[in-house]
Chains A and B, each alone.
Chain A
């Protein structure tokens, strides 16, 4: 028993060195040499300033209790990402950490039903979407991570009018930008077509 206990502790220390120190250090070293950009968070710089990560979303519409869009002025010039249960960790800083998160509402949750109704009405009104056109599900339902960087191409197309008007651009210019930013399924097989909202918005800013 005592011998086994001694072996247990020795083995734990040795395996901690192998799997908890050597292994992650090896991976870190190789990653920093081979893929420094993605290993460090795929950060986007504009000038000296980090404006975000291409993998993390940041612009969306938030609603007041009456269902009005609260941040309309700030976001009107941009394409909107999906609703987020954690508001994309906006406002997080060194002394107030933000976390990823989801609503975890079930299918029979009354709050969820109410939220979705309000979101759809607000999105339709802001983007003048006629009743005959469906709003894609992801545009009114919150994502799993609260940080989803993508929307479907359809959701992006529905916003072209509004963005073009807010920026005083030709509709066709914005529409072309949207089509250029549609990503096909990876390797032609994996996932589905999607638009990275931050990339699209950066391209928009670059136009002007």
Chain B
């Protein structure tokens, strides 16, 4: 690795730390309904939206009402996106005359974008019309991300409030997130992207005659506006087939740096928002520290593996090189973003394995916007409980007792996605329908399958993309994994929030296990790693680990 590459990584991490309190503080004011610099402009738009949609912003909801509103909204979004794909041929804004999307793929894609996964079993430039990209995919990029943020804000209120039955209003949290957080950031970011060469137009594809006399059809479209939100909203669904490796999606090292920064920007900042809203910034930094430490460990392992082999440029772009491809890979799998600027399948086996493990740990290392933090808070509940058992103290968090209901819900949220990954991978590994999609033989073939279901259940969306996922088998099974991985965590998270909100706060006593220090950070990390390792080590050892060993002895398949 060159010194310049180390500087880039240091700059990346430094900026992330600096932005966390700035953006986090702003978001806290937004969700508490306080005045911000953007209020004078956006207040009127916000009220107009409530009027049009018939929302009473002052009406607060219980956890069940909140969950119901969230579910109905997401199902409505799914239906719209599904129908849009099935009918795009007859609809306007389809200059490349792309046919209707076939139903299994449309189901998978609609699920994928509604659950903030953005797994793509298709190539954007050859499958989706501009209209589908705009009013279908682009919209879900915004609202699926805002759903995640809304849920974590509700959960935060549940932990912060005392003897309260309400968690806020889903519609208000949703609209504020879109208007005050995403739109201003996206407008600026999209224009910076265009200035560097990301396309943004409604032209037909451009026909070129190359220097050697061949034809080359260059895809166009409103890409920049979608790429801005796909990065900031941890969506990750590319406008083009190869995502952010495509020069029209990520043309320069500068766009690469900014797109990479926006992957972790909001998930990191939300830890500070959380700290402010529970009136203890320290609690926010504790969670940030645990996330950052796990991220650095994963990054270091991936870099060591890729430079140790030595890694090749297969699947990587010259303008990024190895270090920036690995840094992106670590960020996108830690946060459930799933956009890629290099092909994870062609990473050295261990680097690809760590990327896979990042996803399997439950997407809590920064994680998806909102999703990472509510996932992490579920691990916090588990950690407090386990620590309490170990030292014989009452499990308490923020002065509230953790009881059997919370633990049941937390276990459910951890088990459901993990069970999906292992069981579905097992089914795929023993059926012709699952095995015939592999592009690589040997252990790498198993890694492809494992990665697909981890990516689906973790709502990540990146892939070992050799696997042909556009088959009815994978489209349906991965679709189910995405639904379970998303709402199988959100609903328990809201249930925990509801029950925590009703509890009394007891003053800290000598029997309270402190959650504001380094010891708790270490315990939290240990719980995450132990749960992840116990669940997935056997599978990982048959995939990436054994592949690394075979590779060093020169075996090929």
Contacts and interface: CB of A to CB of B under 8 A. Distances in A.
Interface residues of B, number: 127
A130 B217 CA distance: 38
Which of B240, B241, B348, B443 has the most chain A CB atoms closer than 10 A to its own CB? B241
Interface in B186-215: 186-187, 190-191, 194-203, 205-215
Contacts of A150: 317-319
A71 B407 CA distance: 65
Interface stretch (A88-96, A158-166, A174-182): A88-96
A52 B198 CA distance: 15
A173 interface: no
A189 interface: yes
User: How big is chain A's contact interface, by range?
Assistant: 35 or more
Interface string B221-261: 01011101100000000001110011110011110110000
B313 A34 contact: no
Q: Which of B208, B325, B441, B443 has the most CB of A within 10 A?
A: B208
By secondary structure, the A interface counts as mixed
B4 interface: yes
B200, B257, B318, B325 pick with most chain A CB within 10 angstroms: B318
Contact of A55 (B197, B217, B220, B229): B197
Interface in A11-35: 11-12, 14-16, 18-21, 23-24, 26-28, 30-32, 34-35
Contacts of B522: none
A105 B216 contact: no
A138 B556 contact: no
Contact of A91 (B139, B214, B557): B214
Contacts of A52: 208, 210-211, 216, 218
A187 B254 contact: yes
B94 interface: no
A137 to B, nearest CB: 4
B442 A145 contact: no
Given A40-B201, A90-B214, A108-B556, A144 B440 contact: no
Given A28-B202, A38-B195, A108-B349, A98 B216 contact: yes
A1 B198 CA distance: 43
A106 B349 contact: yes
Contacts of A151: 318
A124 interface: no
Interface string A52-89: 11011011000000000001001100100010000011
Contacts of A42: 197, 251
Interface string B65-77: 1001100110111
B217 A104 contact: no
A39 B556 CA distance: 44
A51 B341 CA distance: 26
Contact of A93 (B11, B135, B183, B215): B215
B80 interface: yes
B343 interface: yes
Contact of A38 (B179, B198, B343, B464): B198
B253 A191 contact: yes
B274 interface: no
A104 B53 contact: no
A204 to B, nearest CB: 9
Contacts of A30: 191
A11 B53 contact: yes
Given A7-B55, A108-B555, A41 B206 contact: yes
A27 B190 contact: yes
A64 B53 CA distance: 62
A43 B199 CA distance: 11
Nearest to B194: A31
A138 B72 CA distance: 49
Contacts of A97: 96, 125-126, 205, 217
Nearest to A109: B440
27 contacts: A8-B75, A16-B135, A18-B183, A21-B134, A23-B183, A24-B226, A31-B194, A39-B200, A50-B207, A50-B208, A82-B313, A89-B217, A90-B210, A91-B215, A94-B205, A98-B217, A100-B241, A100-B246, A102-B242, A102-B315, A104-B345, A104-B464, A110-B441, A110-B556, A141-B316, A152-B318, A198-B211
